[in-house]
Amino acid sequence: GQQLNQSPQSMFIQEGEDVSMNCTSSSIFNTWLWYKQDPGEGPVLLIALYKAGELTSNGRLTAQFGITRKDSFLNISASIPSDVGIYFCAGQGVRDTNAGKSTFGDGTTLTVKP
Amino acid sequence: DAGVTQSPTHLIKTRGQQVTLRCSPKSGHDTVSWYQQALGQGPQFIFQYYEEEERQRGNFPDRFSGHQFPNYSSELNVNALLLGDSALYLCASSLQGVSAGELFFGEGSRLTVL
């Protein structure tokens, strides 16, 4: 089945630093999505990408849909303490788009030191 | 605007028992998906319901079944519980169409099987 490799697994950074994480797949995806999950809560959608090469921003967050359609990147600029959490990438394959099925990576855990 | 609500938030069962988890979608959403999230992993797709029918299913055995009601709310049933079924069960709602992959998650139901 489809698998997503998300890296790095964890990051420890200083407040104010920029963060970069990525996700790769052996399969082509039509949609890439990035979510953030805080302890005790469900994932919250940050950014959705629908077109190869697309670059989309949401405040200090920027994500890109890779040209090959097999990868995606998320950057966070000028990190702040509330950025702490687990970031998940998710993809939807060609047959999954209408059904809404998403394949998730195993997450990048971000720790921000004040 | 009510978000996705799930109940119960926590429950403990023993092996062989059956469990029913409930979900009310975000106001205006017509589609409900269920995901299983094991500790330290990303959510895994179980199945999705739209128009009271199961539209797509992940790699889960028939012990996992569901239902969607006319008001779009949904139930997840798991029979003959195994220790390995211990996980956070997430309900996500969405709308059919271009943004079908944009999932809005509830806080989850944490199931412990002893």
Distance (Å, whole) CA B110 – CA B78: 13
Q: Which whole number is the average pLDDT over A7-35? A: 95
Given an 8 Å threshold on Cβ–Cβ distance, is B42 in contact with A99? no
Q: Are B112 and B85 in contact (CB under 8 A)?
A: no
- What's the DSSP call for residue B95? -
Q: Distances from the Cα of B64 to the Cαs of A45, B48, B57, B103, in angstroms? A: 26, 12, 10, 21
Given an 8 Å threshold on Cβ–Cβ distance, is A43 in contact with B43? yes
The answer to whether B25 contacts chain A (CB < 8 Å) is no
pLDDT tens by residue, B85-94: 999 999 999 9
The answer to whether A47 contacts chain B (CB < 8 Å) is no
Number of Cβ within 10 Å of residue B113's Cβ equals: 19
Q: Are B43 and B37 in contact (CB under 8 A)?
A: yes
pLDDT tens by residue, A44-97: 999 999 999 999 999 999 999 999 999 999 999 999 999 999 999 999 887 766
- Among A45, A88, A101, A103, most B C-beta atoms within 10 A, so best to mutate, is A101
- Please name the member of B56, B90, B108 whose beta carbon is closest to the beta carbon of A101: B56
Task: Identify which of B30, B70, B107, B23 has the alpha carbon closest to the alpha carbon of residue A37.
Answer: B107
Q: Are B108 and B88 in contact (CB under 8 A)?
A: yes
The answer to whether A96 contacts chain B (CB < 8 Å) is yes
